[in-house]
Amino acid sequence: MKKSLKERLAILSDAAKYDASCASSGTTKRDSSASGGLGSTEGSGICHAYAPDGRCISLLKILLTNFCIYDCAYCINRSSSNVERARFTPEEVIWLTLEFYRRNYIEGLFLSSGIIRSSDHTMEEMVRIARELRTIHNFRGYIHLKSIPEASGRLIEEAGLYADRLSINIELPTDAGIGRFAPEKQPDNIRRSMGNLRLKIEEMAEPTLQTKRRRKFAPAGQSTQMIVGADGADDATILGTSARLYGSYGLKRVYYSAFSPIPDSSKTLPLIKPPLMREHRLYQADWLYRFYGFDIGEITSGQSDGMLDLDLDPKLAWALGHRDRFPVDINRAEKETLLRVPGFGTKTVKGILSSRRFRRLRLDDLKRLGVSLRKVQPFVVCEGWTPHRLVDRSDLRAMFQPKPEQLSLL
Ligand code: SF4
């Protein structure tokens, strides 16, 4: 019997939650349904993303279908998996998007898909959805399309005319991992598609000679997703791959998706470390690389096994390994040095630089800027405060380490 639209929506929004390319996917799991509170981060169907102007927006996050002719070992939707399958028609996706938008549930659409019939056929259907939303229904909301790298360049280019953001999954951190767990995918094709997309985004961003205007093409840029923990690559390898992707393809974002073993699977892959904390630390390290002036080598050299410290955030772990660089005088230090102080974000540093033009700053000023004094005190000098030898204490690491918790037996 054919499944109803509602049943298919339940299946295809649930299947899409494994896609990490939205802001809420990287957060911790919370669900209030048992406690009687409000809200949950575990539900599927609606996710959040940041629009080019920095606003956080809600998106209908679904797959066009979870049927797939490929058999990537890490994917719940692979052809050999026994999950319940469903498929929308393009008209149904268009109708759902418009109805949800009119009811103010969403401000846009995040659309991904398993591969049906062929890469081009699937991509054609996805492009058609975006095209008809824009040209027939005059839909002005945000659209993020997950592109299929093996699809023809013509289709990916057309997608950029209608989508705000395009993403092409790099899948795994190494070519060897892709060869082993997703043998139908070619790393060279993935990189070629990313490179072509970058060229097109840059070309269209140039003002034309006739109109002097920039043409609209994927204005929110391109992003990618990497599965973490499926292939044994260490954090140094993962972050090194991300750095190359940022540099070579102008990506706006690399999303890290912790691999979870798939139940009832003959191909279950080994889990390397507690996956969600690892995913969280990778996002923090990625942030240090992009916005705080750290090299990947500096972030990952603290441990001999190439992994990030799961107990401490990567900046704090780096500071504890480089105590000779502290304490930092917040009234004199350069911006680059302030950015390396644990507990200082980019906004804090901006606030320090502008406030100290008028007076010498004290710990109270840091508190007003939202800084956790417990975290920064060993690392800074300011008016009325010096940590003396606090930064050299042998038990400093223990002071920051999370308290051991009794694990649940259930
Ligand atoms: S092609 Fe995509 S949907 Fe299909 S099995 Fe691979 S990762 Fe999953």
Asked if residue 78 has its Cβ within 6 Å of ligand 1, the reply is yes
In this structure, of 13-22, 134-143, 238-247, 292-301, the range with the lowest mean pLDDT score is 13-22
Region 373-392: mean pLDDT is 93
Q: What angle do CA 266, 272, 276 make, to 5 degrees?
A: 100
This prediction has a pTM of 0.86
Report CA(26)–ligand 1 centroid distance (Å). 20
**pLDDT of res. 41:** 42
Give yes or no for residue 26 having a pLDDT over 50: no
Region 179-188: mean pLDDT is 94
DSSP of 385-406? B--TTGGG-TTHHHHHSPPP-P
Give yes or no for residue 37 having a pLDDT over 90: no
Pairing of strands 46-50, 56-63: antiparallel
Give yes or no for residue 6 having a pLDDT over 90: yes
Beta bridge partners, 62, equal 111
Task: Please name the amino acid found at residue 83.
Answer: V
**pLDDT of res. 405:** 64
Asked if residue 63 has its Cβ within 6 Å of ligand 1, the reply is no
**pLDDT tens, position by position, 304-323:** 899 999 999 999 999 999 99
Q: Which of 249, 305, 244 is nearest to 278 (CA)?
A: 305
Give yes or no for residue 272 having a pLDDT over 60: no
Tally of residues, the chain: 410
Element (H, E) at 277: helix 275-291
Confidence of residue 390 (pLDDT cuts 50, 70, 90): confident
In this structure, of 71-75, 190-194, 402-406, the range with the lowest mean pLDDT score is 402-406
The mean of the pLDDT values for the chain is 88
**pLDDT of res. 273:** 47
Which region, left, alpha or beta, applies to residue 388 given φ > 0 means left and ψ of -120 to 50 means alpha?
left
Pocket test for ligand 1, best of 72, 120, 180 (most atoms within 8 A of CB): 72
